Structure 1
Amino acid sequence: MHLNSHITQYLQKLPPPQTRDLAVERDLPVPMRDGAVLLADRWSPESGVRW
Structure 2
Amino acid sequence: PTQRRVLERMHRVMKPGGLLVVGHSENFSEHRDLFQLIGKTAYRRAG
TM-score by length of 2: 0.26
Kindly indicate which of the two structures has a greater share of residues assigned to helix. 2
Q: Which of structures 1 and 2 has the bigger CA Rg?
A: 1
TM-score by length of 1: 0.25
